[in-house]
Amino acid sequence: MRIALFQPCIAGNVGAVLRIGACFDTAIDLIEPMGFAWDDKRVARAGMDYIDHVRVTRHRDWDAFLSTVTGRIVLFTTKGAGRFDEAEFRADDILLFGSEDAGVPDHVHDRADLRVKIPMKPAMRSLNLSVSAGIALSEALRQTKGYPQ
């Protein structure tokens, strides 16, 4: 199981996702360009000392990321066809999340093997990126019995 962030914009969100990856022993892929410098203090502040305990791979672009894909790409999107809690996850899935301001472009959306959404109150637009990643990973790990021991 991996979490991939497509061109994230907010350092604090990336730091929080790195912390999630560390706590649940899940690798994190960062697909550049990002909207901040990698050495941004906000990444370190949000990730705290957990950053040393997570496997992070930075990819220079979408194509570089695709060259590492061996499992399914499961895109979490407000345009998802089905609910994430009704999807069947696999242990080698990559949970992909778009940038906070723009989501993902059509070619990334089209490449996803599965497109799902997290159901929420109709009047609400979206959840925070790191909150979405945590919710998604929790369900995927539950289904695949992939929680750390």
pTM of the full structure: 0.94
Q: Which pLDDT tens digit goes with each residue over 64-121?
A: 999 999 999 999 998 877 999 999 999 999 999 999 999 999 999 999 999 999 999 9
Q: Which pLDDT tens digit goes with each residue over 2-40?
A: 999 999 999 889 989 999 999 999 999 999 999 988 775
Long-range CB contacts for residues 125-129, cutoff 8 Å, separation at least 24: 125/78, 126/78, 128/13, 129/5, 129/8, 129/10, 129/13, 129/17, 129/97, 129/100
- Domains of the chain (ranges, CATH numbers): 2-144 (3.40.1280.10)
Structure tokens at 49: 């000392």
- Gap between the terminal Cα atoms of the chain: 15
